[in-house]
Amino acid sequence: MLEPELAVAGLRGLLSDPRIVGTLFAALIAALAVWASGIVGTKLHLPGPYITWPFLGDAVELGITSDLSRLMFSRFKKYGRVFRLNLLGHTAFVVSDEAALRGVLSDDGAIATIPFRAFSDLMGEYGTQSVKEIHGPWRKLIMAAVNGRGLSELVPGVAGVMARHVAGWAQAGRVELFQASHAMGLDLSTDVIANVHFTALDRGWFKQQMRTFTAGMWGLPVRLPGSDYSAALAAKERLIAALMPEMRDAHAAMLKRWEAAGRSGPALAAALLEEQERQREAAREAEARGQKATPPDLSIKEAMLTAYFIGGHTALRDAPMTILNAVVAAADTTRFSLFTFWAMVAMSTRVQEEIFGEQQRVVAAHGPELTPAALSSMPYLEACFKEAMRLLPTGGGAVRHLTKELKAGSVTLPAGEWVWYHPHLMHCIDPVLWDGDTSVDVPAHMDWRNNFEGAFRPERWLSEETKPKYYFTFGSGVHLCAGVNLVYLEAKLVMAMLVRRFRLRLSAPDMLARCTRVFPFMQPVPGTDKVELLPREQPLPVPGIDL
């Protein structure tokens, strides 16, 4: 159940923002109308609380809780592996029965979707995840762009962006984590991952508009002057208008390919993959001749564009949305993940020294360059990132729309209902780590607030016996995050750069525990997120950074 002091702190935070007050007021008026008409409520006698706030329902508790593990675990203890939540007038069932989830997450009797009104208004409904015929070829292309050789090709660009940021922090001797991770996430997603080539457009302007656009994505979809949602819709229009001329050539080229492939999705995807192979071959030959090789230009935005064409969205106005989609997939998720990762590492001197020891071995074996081979020889550092993502998963899992009945233990959910798997809860009840004790508020292996050294144990990932069985931060099944290997690479690159030269120390050691906003993403209390960078006496070299 919600604690009174947390509720008061959360509400105070929310009510201090006039835009949120306005939005809540409008939502409440709508809520009362909906509630009075008897739409809210339930037709099914299934487990879970259904007497909650009118319209807003459990969204209020999700919005003001500072501990998602505790909230979800308390519901699990009360109602079991399937329970109901009422979110802004919609009912969703949180399911933590792994066997039942396996089918759902393989698109068996379920459709992947993001049921946030604000999100779908801003991103549009292009069917990239939810329509099988579009998802298959789309995923193939994305995987090729950011995995295997595609991933290695991204390393120089990612390292370049990171070196620029790290050099700036090093000069200042400190870094404000929240702002820094935001700026880095946006630069990485725009300049490297979405690989946006601007001719006339100013990059600074583009990034500013993207900030406004993404800020409106997770709030209430209420059009009020000055609300984040209204500002985001306006930014979307500005971005589309500015990007259309930039996308004209790429769009015309895709139109040609689409016709040449006989308007067949799989044929178009196959042609693009062949094209990528030819470009790689040409790059290898150029290298052999001692010339500068250009890596293939088949990026996520081409994959997105292909998906749009397969779904029949072939207008020039749709093309800029590929860029917005690619940046959104990579920017906020990366930003919030880096933020919690850096904070957790900064909270443990023991872990920092282990990372430094591993870096000494990597430099001895591979030299100072952060090459793909060196980066794949950092199991401890990778375990640190996974452990931070296990304890504080970025985002809140994903939702599926049932197309057929789902049996989960003794509960049967009919087609048409929404199923939500929640990573915090799944990680709480991990069969390897959880002893089944329900007398605690949060199981010890998730309780980093009260048991930091015991909970944050990267070592557990390094042996088959202790390795967590549930790890849902990046999803699971056929929609498993396509960018997960890229994210690991990014996390390792930037942390290797930092730890080789510095010890990290949080100015407010309890900064993470003090965060009052955690849903949909973790946000610090302003001014508490400074990390001091203390130079090491015997640093290791970091190529590209002259410190």
Binding site residues, ligand HEM, CB under 6 A:
112, 129, 139, 142, 146, 193, 300, 329-330, 333-334, 337, 394-395, 398, 473-475, 479, 481-483, 486-487
At residue 87, the 3 state secondary structure works out as strand
Q: Which is nearer to ligand HEM, 46 or 300 (CB)?
A: 300
Single out the residue of 348, 334, 277 nearest to residue 493, CA to CA: 334
- Give the C-alpha separation, 455 to 391, whole Å: 8
Least Cβ distance, residue 303 to ligand HEM (angstroms): 8
Least Cβ distance, residue 182 to ligand HEM (angstroms): 13
Q: What is the DSSP string of 58-108?
A: THHHHHH-S-HHHHHHHHHHHH-SEEEEEETTEEEEEE--HHHHHHHTTTS
- Give the C-alpha separation, 484 to 464, whole Å: 21
Q: Could you say which DSSP state residue 41 is in?
A: S
Least Cβ distance, residue 285 to ligand HEM (angstroms): 28
Q: Give the pair of three-digit tokens for residue 173.
A: 């001797």
Least Cβ distance, residue 145 to ligand HEM (angstroms): 8
Q: Which is nearer to ligand HEM, 23 or 129 (CB)?
A: 129
Q: Which is nearer to ligand HEM, 27 or 515 (CB)?
A: 515
Strand partners, 176: 530
Q: Which is nearer to ligand HEM, 333 or 348 (CB)?
A: 333
- Nearest residue to ligand HEM on Cβ basis: 483
Q: Which is nearer to ligand HEM, 94 or 142 (CB)?
A: 142
Question: Are the CB atoms for 455 and 444 separated by under 8 Å?
Answer: yes
Phi/psi at 546 (5° precision):
-100, 95
Q: Which is nearer to ligand HEM, 334 or 352 (CB)?
A: 334
Q: Which is nearer to ligand HEM, 261 or 329 (CB)?
A: 329
Question: Are the CB atoms for 92 and 418 separated by under 8 Å?
Answer: yes
Q: What is the DSSP string of 339-360?
A: HHHHHHHHT-HHHHHHHHHHHH
- Give the C-alpha separation, 319 to 79, whole Å: 46
Please confirm whether the linkage preceding 47 is cis (ω < 30° from 0).
Answer: no
Sign of CA dihedral 424, 91, 57, 328: positive
Q: What angle do CA 183, 187, 189 make, to 5 degrees?
A: 120
Pairing of strands 418-421, 398-402: antiparallel
- Give the C-alpha separation, 150 to 276, whole Å: 10
Q: Which is nearer to ligand HEM, 229 or 474 (CB)?
A: 474
Least Cβ distance, residue 492 to ligand HEM (angstroms): 13
Question: Are the CB atoms for 364 and 443 separated by under 8 Å?
Answer: no
Least Cβ distance, residue 336 to ligand HEM (angstroms): 7
Q: Which is nearer to ligand HEM, 150 or 216 (CB)?
A: 150
Question: Are the CB atoms for 545 and 168 separated by under 8 Å?
Answer: no
Q: Which is nearer to ligand HEM, 7 or 478 (CB)?
A: 478
Single out the residue of 417, 429, 424 nearest to residue 392, CA to CA: 424
Phi/psi at 411 (5° precision):
-105, 140
User: Is 481 annotated as a binding-site member?
Assistant: yes
Q: Which is nearer to ligand HEM, 57 or 483 (CB)?
A: 483
At residue 464, the 3 state secondary structure works out as coil
Least Cβ distance, residue 530 to ligand HEM (angstroms): 23
Least Cβ distance, residue 96 to ligand HEM (angstroms): 15
- Give the C-alpha separation, 436 to 353, whole Å: 33
Single out the residue of 336, 331, 390, 94 nearest to residue 211, CA to CA: 331
Least Cβ distance, residue 292 to ligand HEM (angstroms): 26
Q: CB under 8 Å to 474, separation ≥6 — which residues? A: 389, 480, 481, 484, 487
Other residues' Cβ atoms within 10 Å of the Cβ of residue 262: 8
At residue 523, the 3 state secondary structure works out as strand
Least Cβ distance, residue 262 to ligand HEM (angstroms): 25
Which residue ranges make up the annotated binding site?
481
Which residue ranges make up the annotated binding site for heme?
481
